[in-house]
Amino acid sequence: MPVSTLPDVLPTISATELIKAFPSPHDLGPGWTFNTDSLGSDDYFADYSQIGIAHHCAAGNPDIPHVPGLSSPKSPLSISGAFTAPPGGQDITVEITVDTPARSADRMALMRRAYATCGTLSFEKGGDPYTETYKLLPAPAVRADETLAVRWTARFTGAAGAGLGPAVDEAAYARAGGVVVTIYSPQDVTRMLPVVVAKVRRVLHVLPGTPRAEEP
């Protein structure tokens, strides 16, 4: 059973409805284009489970005993794709994921705790020394049950990183019921989140206001 006291029942959202809820370039504004080859079913928690924080920090491990059921990272329904920004803007990747409110809340709670407590991690990647640093950003101002934003910086610190700068990415999340909207971008990630969340709420009739998950 999930840690959260929220309903552990999937919302009645079909794949067709999810496609309709996915933003179009027109929704994002003038000059945006969609990279058609990027259309897929990537999932924010499956993404999370592949980065260092999920494997090298106890607080971020999806298999920890008091968060049962999180070791299977993929949600039942998801859609993803990348957009190219107009000149002067930042490209973004959007993911919309549907799961039970309980599971989605548990996953958000786990990620929030991990990003807040794990800080900087050093480990080997492909046999080379590697460092990842995580920093929580101000919570995005969107109408949702909960939001989360984080910046992570990654770099090889040995010979493999000689002459290379760090890779910097940001992620912003918003949960309404069991639906989680995620945006990735190199910076200013929260700017487009209200636009995407507004369309998702309008098309899927997902409204915030359910109780928050209990913090583990």
For residue 211, the model assigns a pLDDT of 35
Instruction: Check: CB of residue 2 under 8 Å from CB of residue 178.
Output: no
Q: If we measure between CA atoms, which residue out of 65, 61, 55, 147 comes closest to residue 104?
A: 147
| DSSP-derived secondary structure for 31-66 | T-EEEEEEEE---HHHHHTTSTHHHH-GGG-TT-TT
Tokens for 187, please give them: 């910076």
Instruction: Tell me the whole-structure pTM to 2 decimals.
Output: 0.88
Provide the pLDDT confidence category of residue 116 given band limits of 50, 70 and 90. Answer: very high
State how far the Cα of 6 lies from the Cα of 100, in Å rounded to an integer.
8
Provide the pLDDT confidence category of residue 5 given band limits of 50, 70 and 90. Answer: confident
Tokens for 11, please give them: 């919302």
E strand spans, 157-209: 167-176, 179-185
User: Going from the N-terminus, what domains does the chain have, and what CATH number goes with each?
Assistant: 15-204 (3.40.1000)
CA angle 90, 183, 124 (to 5 degrees): 90
Alpha helices in 41-148 (DSSP H): 44-48, 53-56, 101-117
State how far the Cα of 89 lies from the Cα of 205, in Å rounded to an integer.
30
158 C-beta neighbours (distance < 10 Å), count = 11
For residue 209, the model assigns a pLDDT of 47
**What digits encode the pLDDT tens for the residues 165-201?**
788 999 999 999 999 999 999 988 888 999 999 999 9
What average pLDDT does the chain have?
Answer: 85
Strand arrangement, sheet containing 179-185: 33-40, 77-84, 92-98, 179-185, 167-176, 146-156, 128-136, 120-125
Residue 158 has pLDDT above 80, yes or no: no
